[in-house]
A = this chain, B = another copy of it.
Amino acid sequence: MPQDDEAITTLAGQDGAIEETGRFAPRFDASGLMPCIAIDHQTGTVLMMAWVNAPALEATLSTGFAHYWSRSRNQLWKKGETSGALQRIVEIRTDCDQDALTYRVAVTEPAGTCHTGRPSCFYRTVPLGPGDLDRPLTFDDADH
């Protein structure tokens, strides 16, 4: 949890606080899930945002390949098993309050990371400015 979220700030710096512990204690949500951000290990590009539960995380740690929990199919999902865009894990990080993860990955078939055939799911920019959320998007498939 980033700064300003004062309800948890009081824990910071205390021995044994979730922010300072040297033990991994992932905090899944009420559905048993946690957001996980996949990052290209070479470019640093954010490739996708997906969800993990404990079995997906255990499978990732034990195999060295990214696993997620598919909310739409309601099943464990080894990324790239059908597309070829496997994600070999380079590094996993947890955030301060241990309710989000990053996977730094090496992708075996980058063009297949997004189901649209793009290397990243974040290929559209949202223009800034006041007004309704309903506004045009700009397609930008370049690494960012």
Least CB distance, A99 to chain B, in whole angstroms: 8
Which residues of A are interface residues toward B (Cβ below 8 A)?
Answer: 1-9, 12-13, 19-26, 35, 37-39, 43-50, 54, 57-58, 61-62, 64, 70, 72-73, 77, 79-83, 85, 89, 91-96, 100-102, 104, 112-118, 121-126, 128-131, 133-139, 144
Contact A35 B61 (CB under 8 A): no
A57 contacts across to B, CB distance below 8 A: 133
Given contacts A61-B130, A91-B125, contact A23 B136 (CB under 8 A): yes
Q: What residue of chain B has the Cβ atom nearest to residue A135's Cβ? A: B24
Contact B139 A22 (CB under 8 A): yes
How often does this chain occur in the complex, in copies?
2
Q: How far is the CA of A122 from the CA of B78 in the complex (A)?
A: 24
Q: How far is the CA of A122 from the CA of B118 in the complex (A)?
A: 26
A137 contacts across to B, CB distance below 8 A: 21-24, 94
Contact A112 B77 (CB under 8 A): no
Q: What residue of chain B has the Cβ atom nearest to residue A59's Cβ? A: B130
Contact B58 A112 (CB under 8 A): no
Least CB distance, A131 to chain B, in whole angstroms: 8
Contact A48 B2 (CB under 8 A): yes
Interface residue from B91, B101, B144 paired with A91 (Cβ < 8 Å): B144
A92 contacts across to B, CB distance below 8 A: 125-126, 128
Contact A2 B96 (CB under 8 A): no
Contact A126 B3 (CB under 8 A): no
